Amino acid sequence: MMLKHLLSHDLPRSRWLAALLVVIFLGLLLVPFVMPGSRSLNVAAKILIFIVLVASYDLLLGYTGIVSFAHTMFFGIGAYGIAIASARMGASWSALAVGAGAALLLSMLLSLLIGLFSLRVKAIYYAMITLAVAAAFQTLASQLSHFTGGEDGMSFRVPESLTPSFEPLQSPLFGVTVDGRLITYYLVFAAAAALVLLMLRIVNSPFGRVLLAIRENDFRAEAIGYRTVVYRTLSNVMSALFATLAGCLLALWLRYNGPDTSLSFEIMLDILLIVVIGGMGTIYGAVIGSVLFVLAQNYLQDLMRAASGTFEGLGLISELVSADRWLLWLGVLFVLCVYHFPSGIVGKLRQSSQAPAAVPPAAPPQGQPQAAAAR
């Protein structure tokens, strides 16, 4: 009952999906102890940040049906807010609070303006407007070098309790040294879990049901009394705020931010791909898709390098399985995934678990022989 309450009565509705979510949760929770090392910790932190970022975009695309290319702009605002405030105010918790607050305020104002002035146009026109705004913001961040660090970005310090040199325990815990880096990871983990649960609460509220109605048929939603522009604008604002918080987590973990780190259009393409692979309009799809994408992005090249020795000297085959071709095979994997799971992995798992069972043959009427009923 407690789990059902935390998930806002939106249970996975599939045993395989529930098992995957439990494995992912426990894996991300225990990865510092099961797979100690800076690389595995960095991959796990990136997964957590992408889960929040992709789920926030799913709130916009999957639940409201709005295609926006400005999502990385809000992601970058959150990261720059933490970076600029920490660089100018010093390494303190107050700097983090001011940076996050200023970033949230700016994102709220920009998303509100974009929503009010652009959401009245339809489909591709709105997407093009958001693309232009995102490109303009990225150019601005690159050129204001005295304020944002320009193309080189900016590094900054975090509070002492979040630095690797901070070790509150004298002896290791289960063989792992507890330091500020580990504390930062679990801070990111707790924040990501809380934000995903909050988004689940939103999409399963009456407000979320209205968003689904607008996605399915905005004319009908308008006809029964809902002001679709207002609801679309609110969805745009909330999605932007969650993306901003994901950017804050990114900057806090990396202790650095630059245009390519948080504002790159490649990140926007990654978000779209993960949403489609995981399953739009589920939130759970952001979890499954982010894990698969980030793991493939970080470990597929290593797997291919390990397997390339088997095909050495086979000409074209050895060239195709070379570790340098990992992006090619990453694309092939995702094309196959989209082809075989058109409704996303979560949608496929839910459909398979809800497949109707075979209907047993009707029993013959009383007094009628079984053979006659068979005829």
Domain positions in the chain are 20-353
> In the beta sheet, which residues pair with residue 257?
154
pLDDT confidence of residue 354: 67
**pLDDT score, position 73:** 94
Please give the sequence-ordered ranges of beta strands (E in DSSP) within 243-337, or none if there are none: 256-257
Task: Note the pLDDT of residue 314.
Answer: 65
Rounded Cα–Cα distance for residues 305 and 324 (Å) = 9
Instruction: Kindly list the distances between the CA atom of residue 198 and the CA atoms of 14, 68, 102, 280, in Å, as whole numbers in the listed order.
Output: 21, 22, 21, 17
DSSP secondary-structure letter at 375? Answer: -
Which helix (H) or strand (E) segment holds residue 138: the answer is helix 123-143
Contacts of 213 (CB under 8 A, 6+ apart): 220, 221, 226
Element (H, E) at 154: strand 154-155
**pLDDT under 70 in the chain at which residues?**
1-10, 119-123, 307-319, 322-324, 354-375
pLDDT at 359: 44
Query: How is residue 356 written in tokens?
Result: 């109707």
**CA-CA distance, 147 to 251, in Å (whole number)?**
16
Cβ 56 vs Cβ 249: under 8 Å: no
| Closest listed residue to residue 330, CA positions, set 302, 306, 305, 297 | 297
- Residue 99 to residue 94: CA distance in whole angstroms: 8
Task: Give yes or no for a contact between 279 and 143, defined as CB atoms under 8 angstroms apart.
Answer: no
Nearest to 344 by CA among 279, 283, 291: 279
Task: Pick the closest to residue 189 from 249, 271, 115 (CA basis).
Answer: 249
**pLDDT value, residue 323:** 65
- For domain 20-353, which architecture applies? Orthogonal Bundle (1.10)
- Taking CA atoms, 362 is separated from 78, 133, 357, 359, 366, in Å, by 62, 63, 15, 9, 12
pLDDT tens per residue across span 169-184:
878 888 888 888 999 9
Q: pLDDT for 4-61, tens place per residue? A: 656 666 677 788 888 999 999 999 999 999 988 888 999 999 999 999 999 999 999 9
∠ CA 9-270-238 to the nearest 5 degrees? 45
